[in-house]
Amino acid sequence: MVKFDIKYENASAFKYLALEVKGAYSQIPDKITQLMQLTAEQNLFPSMRGPVLAIFYNDPREVANVDEYFWAVGYPCAEMANFKAPLKLKERKESFVAKATIYGPYDKLAETYPLIEEQITKDEYKILFWSLEMYLDDPRTVKPENLRTQAWIDVKK
């Protein structure tokens, strides 16, 4: 079983470079590889200001099928990053979030989400939106059972 802990806090706004995607979340690993290739080709590594993330623009429970999932992979960046398409500069607005740090393999994330939702409800918060996953470790150098992912879930009392 994957472990997690939750903290509730204000999350500041931040700018990020994004590679936008429509379709299944199973594309995340390949899209992260593409993002890193574009970052290297465009010499953007000095502009990175945080870990790689997947950010979700719509709720999969509210769309008809997987082809309508709209999301991106990206990373926080310097405001003056000099980038080219297909990358886009985006901004995540400030919000109040449940930051759930999940410990374990990436392929176990989805089965952890119902447990996180249950805990948020027990803590008397209402879930507004699952907004992003931040990948805190490099899976090339960290064993799957030691990986940490931080999920940000917009909530309110």
DSSP string, 107-152: GGHHHHHHHHHHHHHHTT-EEEEEEEEEE-S-TTTS-GGG-EEEEE
Residue scoring higher pLDDT (89 or 2) = 89
pLDDT over threshold 80, residue 1: no
Q: What is the pLDDT, as a whole number, of residue 25?
A: 94
pLDDT at 157: 93
pLDDT digits (tens, 9 = 90+) for 103-151: 999 988 889 999 999 999 999 999 999 899 999 999 889 999 999 999 9
Alpha carbons 93 and 51: distance in angstroms, whole number: 18
Rounded to the nearest 10°, the torsion over CA 76, 81, 85, 86 is -10
Helix ranges (DSSP H) in the chain: 28-41, 109-122
Structural domain that includes position 113: 3-156
What region, left, alpha or beta, does residue 43 occupy, with left being phi > 0 and alpha being psi -120 to 50 degrees? left
CA–CA distance, 151 with 135 (Å, rounded to integer)? 9
Q: Which CATH number belongs to the domain containing residue 150 in this structure?
A: 3.20.80.10
- Number of separate domains in the chain: 1
